[in-house]
Amino acid sequence: MTVNNGHGSTQSFAYGNIVFTDDIPNLSNDQRLPVLVTMTNLNGCLAMPSGSRSLTGEILLSDGAGAVAAFASTDKSQEKIGDQYGAR
């Protein structure tokens, strides 16, 4: 299980150099079945422009590099609530 909490956007886990949608093809899950939990703003956004996906969408749909399930914020989230979910 991978848990991420903090600031984020539709295309990255944070406002730093952590993981971006462009990084997903370079990842490998070595045949494991990871579950992603991300308590950041917009990582699971469903209202994306035509032809694009959020970071969580890319991770879920990436063969051999992604996750089998995800729990992610689809819009802006409140930091204290994200902290509570991310700590459990």
Please state the domain extents for the chain. 2-86
Please report the pLDDT score of residue 18 as a whole number: 77
- The pair of structure tokens assigned to 4 is 């991420």
Integer Rg of the chain from CA? 12
- pLDDT (tens digit, 9 = 90+) per residue, 9-63? 788 877 666 788 888 888 888 888 889 888 778 888 877 777 788 888 888 888 8
Q: How far apart are the first and last CA of the chain?
A: 12
Please report the pLDDT score of residue 85 as a whole number: 56
Distance CA 82, CA 88 (A): 10
Q: Could you tell me the fold of the domain covering 2-86?
A: Rossmann fold (3.40.50)
pTM of structure:
0.71
- Which strands, in side-by-side order, build the sheet including 69-72? 2-5, 35-39, 69-72
